[in-house]
């Protein structure tokens, strides 16, 4: 199983809204960046991802799971843009802020730090564990 991190601006799609979706999940539409899309194409059912609030909050607030594999993005005109769907699985008992991630030397290689604009990114298993620990899981 692989790990990922997805970003969302909470004033557009928040963790509360994601949780309210429950098992119905939410299609991660609107990604128009090849790197981010490629990461979604690589996702398998059951893969886990951190749910990160960008711009407002700037913290990892929860964990989602891949519920549907990549499929054409219904909001795109052509089928090269694909998206997966996510269901919420857990809250971060203690949200992990970007500042906290940046100030942990173990996490210095994370794309969240080095490629801050990438909206769908992989997370190394060790980094996943470390952040879970920081978040109280």
Please choose, out of 27-35, 42-50, 71-79, 123-131, the segment that lies near DNA by the rule CB under 7 A. Answer: 27-35
H or E element in which residue 16 lies:
helix 15-21
Compute the distance between CA of residue 73 and CA of residue 83 in angstroms, rounded to an integer: 5
Instruction: Could you list the beta-strand ranges (E) of 1-137.
Output: 3-8, 26-27, 48-53, 59-72, 82-97, 120-123
Q: Binding DNA by CB under 7 A: which of 11, 17, 75, 116?
A: 116
- State yes or no: residue 124 binds DNA (CB under 7 A): no
- State yes or no: residue 80 binds DNA (CB under 7 A): no
Report in angstroms how near the CB of residue 25 gets to DNA at its nearest. 21
Q: Report whether 88 contacts 51 (CB < 8 A).
A: yes
- State yes or no: residue 38 binds DNA (CB under 7 A): no
Q: What share of the chain is helix, strand, coil (3-state, %, to 5)?
A: 30, 35, 35
Lay out the site mask for DNA across 89-108 (x = CB under 7 A, - = otherwise): ---------xx--x------
Which residues of this chain interact with DNA, rule CB under 7 A? 7, 9, 32-35, 54-55, 58, 98-99, 102, 115-119
């Amino acid at each position: 199983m692989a790990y990922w991190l997805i970003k969302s601006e909470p004033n557009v799609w928040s963790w509360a809204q994601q949780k309210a979706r429950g098992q119905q999940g939410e299609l991660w539409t609107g990604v128009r960046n090849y790197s981010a899309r490629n990461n979604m194409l690589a996702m398998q059912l059951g893969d886990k991802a951190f749910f990160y609030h960008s711009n407002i909050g700037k913290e990892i607030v929860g964990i989602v799971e891949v519920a549907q594999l990549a499929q054409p993005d219904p909001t795109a005109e052509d089928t090269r843009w694909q998206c997966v769907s996510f269901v919420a699985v857990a809250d971060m008992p203690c949200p992990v802020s970007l500042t906290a991630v940046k100030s942990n030397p173990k996490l210095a290689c994370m794309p969240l730090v080095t490629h801050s604009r990438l909206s769908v990114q992989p997370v190394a298993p060790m980094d996943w564990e470390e952040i879970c620990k920081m978040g109280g899981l």
